Structure 1
């Protein structure tokens, strides 16, 4: 009887172990700062409270707690900043997704806001398929669109169903908007 009871417990333990789902391999880093440079010149700096790397899957980095990326010119002046509450970089696809409260700030003070923005590394463009707002510095203009495509510097922005206003000041700081 004792032997049977002992075997029954062992079988239950084996059953429990057999039903445990295998966890996905993930490397977690906290308080991350990544500096991108070319020929010893800093081009960008990424900061995040947490970086998750999934080496066994399709090769991507996930920023569940948000990310801030600052871009610099040759003189180390900040040219733009992208901030979002969530991001995922899909290395194999060359695609980075910024989601939830995405804010792009340009060096001239203009701000782009959306719930998602994608960066296509191969095509060197930003784009999205949800509404976006572009507010110019000093309240000189505001534009809304149902989606957009832009170059890397947000100088040539093509919006769908774009509406808004612009108050000229003599400076030619207005990006080129197209259809």
Structure 2
């Protein structure tokens, strides 16, 4: 074997080792850089959160979440990466509705709260609304969304679906776009057909 062959055989493994070490070093530097950025994020993290909203000494709502993150940035926001539940109460303290979702974000400056992933609105009368997105506009005191919605009546007598909806804050006046539905009338109810 000539000298070049011997050098090549000896140099190739050494060269591969240097390349692998260099790429590992680059990856480790990237991991360290990302960790440093995350460590510098201006975020406060709270675990096992319960927040009670009241007005004139009356409890209006209670929010619970496994984790709440508050980002102290130019446009501050709260993030609930592990889900959230909000229960609303009337003036005598009875539950009127609840909202649960897998994720939520409250944008303080825009005064918007977005619920995403398995969003379920349960009314005190037993009616249920399901969707993948729900947005609350604090300024207008309304809820709306841009994705399909399904609703089920309290007594199991029907349901409806739509492409999106808007509603007042109490879910009393809901406008569903492109809706279809099914409702089962009992004897004596509904329109008369001849």
In structure 2, the residue matched to 1:31 is 48
The alignment status of 1:161 with 2:178, answered yes or no, reads yes
Alignment of 1:166-177 (within 5 A): 166-168=183-185
TM-score w.r.t. length of structure 2: 0.76
Report the Cα distance in structure 2 between the residues aligned to 1:90 and 1:169, rounded to whole angstroms: 46
Separation in 2, partners of 1:115, 1:57: 28
Equivalent of residue 83 in structure 1, options 67, 83, 100? 100
Q: Which has the larger radius of gyration?
A: 2
Which of these residues, 124, 146, 164, is aligned with residue 107 of structure 1? 124
Distance 2:42 2:153 in 1: 44
Q: In the alignment, which of 61, 65, 68 is matched to residue 78 of structure 2? A: 61
TM-superposed deviation, 1:132 = 0.2
Which residue does 1:74 correspond to in 2?
Answer: 91
TM-score under structure 1 normalisation? 0.82
Report the Cα offset of residue 56 of structure 1.
Answer: 2.2
If each structure's strand is expressed as a fraction of its own residues, which one has the higher value? 1
Runs of 4+ in 1 over 6 A off after TM superposition: none
Q: Equivalent residue of 1:137, what SS? A: coil
Deviations along 1:93-115, one digit per CA (max 9) or x if unpaired, are 01000000000000100000000
Match of 2:59 in 1: 42
